[in-house]
Chains A and B, each alone.
Chain A
Amino acid sequence: MTKARRARASSGTAGHVGDYHLSIAQLEQMYYYMLLARRLSERMLILNRQGRAPFVIAGAGQEAAQVGAAMALEPGVDFLAPYYRDLAMNLVFGMTPREAMLNVLAKRDDPNSYGRQMPAHWSSPKRRIVTQSSVVATQLVHAVGIALGARLSGERLVVMACCGEGATSRGDFHEALNFAAIHKLPVIFFVENNGYAISERTEKEMPVPNVADRARAYNMQAAVVDGMDCVAVYQTVKPAVDQARRGAGPFLVEAKCYRLWAHSSEDDDSRYRPRKELEEWAKKDPIVVFRDRVHADGVFPLADLEAIERRVEEEVRDAVEWALAQPDPEPEEALTHVYKEA
């Protein structure tokens, strides 16, 4: 019996793989979305260096956190209020690689903002992805408002509000936690602590070791999880989502991860980040770690992983080629939709 077969055979519940408590299909999804986000981001950076994409801001190093958290939600029912690094979350919620490329190229038909915002300012009302600005933490309050609106109209859903640890210094973070906790609203505050707010390390940002410590002041449940481990993130977020859906109130999850790239395409992180630190974290690259683990545990034969990798490569290639050929906005289009017509 091969190792893969053994792992599958030892599944606890039907279709679930041993210690993972996840189905093969879910584990495939995890690898697919993490890898897709990373490969898309890499191509975006290349387009930037070629002068074709003016600006790139990405989530390299945070894919495990993002995919693990987003997979705990129910797309089509739950709302996602992401922040700019959350490409992988948007992919889980249905954004296509072609749309992601339209976005970075600010093409006319980019459904996120039609060339009106900088890239990575996500939006898709039909997928319940909430539009956000460059102002950090404002979206956390919007998420609370969505949860309140849903409660008033009797719809049972969960809202996931995401931010980096930098945003947790802003008043809106605290106002959002306060209101959500007072009214026991079904909001998951998902904080991706990547260690840096541009150049500032967390010790310059806050006097407590964990963002999750701040939840205690709002009588809110919270957990810290290894954000480089997609399975662990899912296993932490899923029960929080389930209990919020049942009416137990908000929950804060802090995923400790690491920003493997500079803040953005315009940032030179060598000015403030020790190379050695980066090298140490690169060894913990969540996608590589995941691949090694599922392979070593015999969950997937190598051929299955390679098939996913080929599929991702093909989708990214197609997305770039297609998106580059799409039209730019006409200048006069700048004047429309200042107001919604009644």
Chain B
Amino acid sequence: MPELTVIEAVRQALDDALAADQRVFVLGEDVEAGGVFRATEGLAAKYPGRVIDTPLAESSIIGIAIGAAHYGMRPVAEIQFADFIHAGFDQLCSEASRWCYRTKGDAWLPMVVRTPWGGGVHGGQHHSQSIEAYYAHMPGLKVVAPSFPADYYTLLRAAIDDPNPVLFLEHKRTYRLIRQEVTGSNGEQRIGRSRIVRDGADLTMYAYGLMLHECLAAADELAGEGIEATVVDLLTLAPLDRETVLEAARRTGKVLIVHEDTLTGGFGAELAALIAEHAFEYLDAPIRRLCGPDIPPIPYHPNLEAFYMPDRTKIAAAARELARY
């Protein structure tokens, strides 16, 4: 298989899943025309009747996926922007996440909700947000946030095959940012596993989505200065791969947690608490979080957005400080 961008990997995964399993179908706003990011381009014609436009109503997009999954189908719902998913919060958190638990496994929901998230696209308040912390808080949901095209492919296929509801987060700024060879097999990467993508003895960076790429860029820059960073691609936020998170923290003794979401109650708070609880004796410096400031994210003007977003420069600066500690 050739090198693919993130959006191409997503489309390929959908295409292959639709071809492999008659139970798979796609629903969402504008998906028949290919979707606003072209994730479903060409699929409606290739799989007649199995790529279904919905009214602009997120609660029912998710609720209908619940019903279809309960029946035995494998729906893949698209929420056009993560910022709009909260209209379906009730369906995801009051219903989907509890379906298996409240029936003690008599019923379950093999369904996926895909949604583009994240800033850096001049999307303002409602086309830029990070939503992962709300949903990773809800036991019963799986929350996946890959960074590389091959993982997008593999984990989307795995999400569609998973018997549980999976919220699949696609960082929209990375859709066409990077290319990578995608083997086309279901690969090794599994839901629930994080991966150390760079080794370094001085500190560990944790990130996902666009920030993972910013961390890697910062780590390259730091290497030129003699600071070697380990970088952990979290990949799955819920259920969290605690072993990999803790192993990396213990190995380097210094941790820098990076995310676009606002600081307070962000997913980094959970990582920090986990590391403080279980790797405290290994730490050589206070845990450092580099996150969006606590303002309603994300302001529109480029000056304001750039101020809000963590990036490689801010990450490198924070890492230098941490390394010196």
Contact = CB atoms under 8 A, between A and B. Distances in A.
Nearest to B107: A125
B105 interface: yes
Contacts of A176: 60, 63
Q: Which of A131, A145, A153 has the most CB of B within 10 A?
A: A145
Interface in A142-173: 142-150, 152-153, 171-172
B307 interface: no
16 contacts: A111-B106, A123-B103, A131-B99, A133-B102, A135-B90, A138-B94, A141-B60, A142-B66, A142-B95, A148-B52, A148-B64, A149-B73, A149-B75, A152-B68, A340-B164, A342-B161
A176 B61 CA distance: 10
Contacts of A338: 100-101, 139-140
Interface of B: 22-23, 25, 49-50, 52, 54-55, 57, 59-60, 63-73, 75, 87, 90-91, 94-95, 98-108, 139-140, 142, 161-164, 239
Given A179-B54, A337-B101, A130 B64 contact: no
A232 to B, nearest CB: 30
B100 A172 contact: no
A130 B70 contact: yes
A125 B103 contact: yes
A16 interface: no
Contact of B91 (A123, A138, A182, A339): A138
Contact of B71 (A113, A138, A150): A150
A337 B107 contact: no
B67 A142 contact: yes
A171 B59 CA distance: 8
B102 A131 contact: yes
A146 B72 CA distance: 9
Contact of B72 (A114, A117, A149): A149
Given A133-B94, A133-B95, A153-B23, A144 B60 contact: yes
Nearest to B239: A339
A-B CB proximity, top 9 nearest: A145-B67, A141-B63, A149-B71, A175-B60, A149-B68, A340-B108, A145-B64, A142-B67, A340-B163
B95 A337 contact: no
B59 A339 contact: no
A210 B69 CA distance: 33
Contact of B106 (A121, A123, A178): A123
Contacts of B140: 338-339
Contacts of A135: 90, 94-95
Contacts of A146: 67-68, 70-71
A131 B94 CA distance: 12
Given A133-B102, A148-B52, 17 more contacts: A130-B70, A133-B95, A141-B60, A141-B63, A142-B95, A144-B64, A145-B63, A145-B67, A145-B71, A149-B75, A152-B49, A171-B59, A178-B57, A179-B64, A336-B105, A340-B108, A342-B161
Given A123-B106, A182-B55, A337 B70 contact: no
Contact of B102 (A123, A144, A149, A178): A123
A87 to B, nearest CB: 18
B105 A340 contact: yes
A214 interface: no
Nearest to B74: A149
Contacts of A79: 71
B63 A175 contact: yes
A126 B75 CA distance: 21
Contacts of B142: 339
Contacts of A342: 161-163
Contacts of A149: 67-73, 75
Contact of A339 (B52, B87, B100, B103): B100
A116 interface: yes
B68 A123 contact: no
Given A133-B95, A171-B59, A141 B64 contact: yes
Contacts of B70: 130, 142, 145-146, 149
Contacts of A150: 71
A117 B98 CA distance: 10
Interface string A229-264: 000000000000000000000000000000000000
Contacts of B22: 153
Q: Which of B59, B60, B94, B108 has the most CB of A within 10 A?
A: B60
Contact of B105 (A133, A179, A337): A337
Given A175-B55, A175-B57, A175-B60, A147 B67 contact: yes
A117 B55 CA distance: 32
B62 to A, nearest CB: 8
A79 B68 CA distance: 12
Interface in A165-214: 171-172, 175-176, 178-179, 182
Nearest to B110: A340
A152 B52 CA distance: 11
B68 A148 contact: yes
B155 to A, nearest CB: 14
A169 to B, nearest CB: 14
Contact of B73 (A153, A175, A339): A153
Q: Which of A111, A117, A175 has the most CB of B within 10 A?
A: A175
A145 B55 CA distance: 14
Contact of B67 (A148, A171, A175): A148
Contacts of A152: 25, 49-50, 68, 73
A77 to B, nearest CB: 13
A113 B22 CA distance: 31
Contacts of A179: 54-55, 57, 60, 64
Contacts of B66: 141-142, 145
A158 to B, nearest CB: 13
Contacts of B103: 113-114, 123, 125, 131
Given A149-B71, A337-B101, A131 B107 contact: yes
Contacts of B139: 338
A154 to B, nearest CB: 10
